[in-house]
Amino acid sequence: MEDLRVTLCGTELSNPVIPASGTFGFGYEFAELYDINVLGTFSFKGTTKEPRYGNPLPRIAECEAGLINSIGLQNPGVDKVISEELPKLKKCFSKPVMANVSGFSVEDFVETCEKLDREPQVGWLEVNVSCPNVHGGGMIFGTDPKAAAGIVAAVKKAVKKPVIVKLSPNVTDIVSIALACEAAGADGICLINTMLGMRINLKTRKPVIANKMGGFSGPAVFPVALRMVWQVSDAVKVPVVGCGGVSTAEDVIEMMLAGATAVEVGCANLVNPFACPEIIENLPSAMKKYGITRLADIIGGAK
């Protein structure tokens, strides 16, 4: 029988499939459709210190092989996430959850992570230094090795749970940033977040998105994500979580062969809310097809 289990920063997952932050809400919405305990875990909606309404409308632009979003980290703020969202989640999800955190200063990141670190439901802190939609925040931290490392070092001093840093692909040298984060104490690296993109309405001759540019995701970015997972997993000793354009069981296997320990699924959840359980259901047959008995054995197997 095929073994789907993997271990991420010391915690065993029943399988490597993780819905990505921003595509799965706080989980309980999807629990109305299926038992979300089939997931390895999931990364909940990006959370900031203060509530955020997000960017102006329209925020979404469709593309042939994906979509562009400029949501702007809309969320109720960390205090309400803890008091309102996590109790709802606890009723339908029995596994540790990944808390995705964003901020606009080192102090923001530290305070938000400190609060979430105290929550029993939180198993990992996914520190997002890579969001391309928010001015003055993630994009600055995520494109500079020293700035990214500074966030990691400050957060690590304040928390006990594993810190996984989510990196931006909108850089020329992803490896140097990953190495800086590892040196600062990161327990894992997640990549990639969305790439910067835009669309123009031919009738109005104006950008479709009010913010002009947004984060491009979907199947079109998969080869870029795969390449960066390969490069970073080759350079760091901490586990890598692969993300970007994943929509099939075969994509998960390919990401793991490139060096990913676990794999996040993003845009596919917005197209098909059953994307993740379908991928998990299809993994054993895909493994059998390619002669894989144990998923953990193939991590980095293409090297």
Quick count: other Cβ atoms within 10 Å of Cβ 241?
Answer: 27
pTM value is 0.96
**What's the whole-number average pLDDT of the chain?**
95
Structure tokens given for 114: 């400190």
- Measured on CA atoms in the order 125, 131, 133, 135, is the torsion positive or negative? positive
Split at pLDDT 50, 70, 90, the class of 139 is low
pLDDT for residue 134 is more than 60: no
pLDDT for residue 298 is more than 60: yes
Least confident range from 127-141, 166-180, 223-237: namely 127-141
- pLDDT value of residue 133: 37
Q: Report, in this order, helix, strand and coil percent for the chain, each rounded to 5.
A: 35, 20, 40
- The rounded distance, in Å, linking the Cα atoms of 129 and 204 is 34
Burial class (CB in 10 A: 0-12, 13-18, 19+), 285: exposed
Q: What is the mean pLDDT of residues 20-32?
A: 97
Please, what are the domains in the chain? 6-55+72-196+218-298 (3.20.20.70)
CB-based contact 168:188 (threshold 8 Å)? no
Residue of 284, 223, 293, 277 whose CA lies nearest to 254: 223
pLDDT for residue 44 is more than 50: yes
Structure tokens given for 16: 């490597």
pLDDT for residue 130 is more than 80: no
- The rounded distance, in Å, linking the Cα atoms of 99 and 88 is 15
Q: What is the mean pLDDT of residues 58-84?
A: 95
- The rounded distance, in Å, linking the Cα atoms of 229 and 216 is 18
Question: 225-234 as b/e, with b when 16 or more CB fall inside 10 Å?
Answer: bbebbbbbbe
Q: What is the mean pLDDT of residues 57-77?
A: 94
In 3-state terms, what secondary structure has residue 129? coil
- The CA distances from residue 199 to 57, 135, 164, 221, in Å, are 14, 19, 32, 16
Split at pLDDT 50, 70, 90, the class of 95 is very high
Per-residue model confidence as pLDDT tens digits over 54-63: 999 999 999 9
pLDDT for residue 138 is more than 80: no
- Measured on CA atoms in the order 55, 57, 60, 61, is the torsion positive or negative? negative
Split at pLDDT 50, 70, 90, the class of 135 is very low
- The rounded distance, in Å, linking the Cα atoms of 196 and 207 is 14
- pLDDT value of residue 109: 94
Per-residue model confidence as pLDDT tens digits over 273-296: 999 999 999 999 999 999 999 999
Catalytic residue among 9, 63, 92, 131: 131
The per-residue DSSP string of 10-42 comes to: TEEESSSEEEPTTSSTTSHHHHTTS-GGGSS--
CB-based contact 106:141 (threshold 8 Å)? no
Active site includes 131? yes
Share of the chain above pLDDT 90, in %: 92
- pLDDT value of residue 142: 85
CB-based contact 199:227 (threshold 8 Å)? no
Per-residue model confidence as pLDDT tens digits over 201-239: 999 999 999 999 999 999 999 999 999 999 999 999 999
Residue 13 — φ and ψ, nearest 5°?
A: -110, 140
- pLDDT value of residue 132: 43
- pLDDT value of residue 47: 97
pLDDT for residue 3 is more than 80: yes
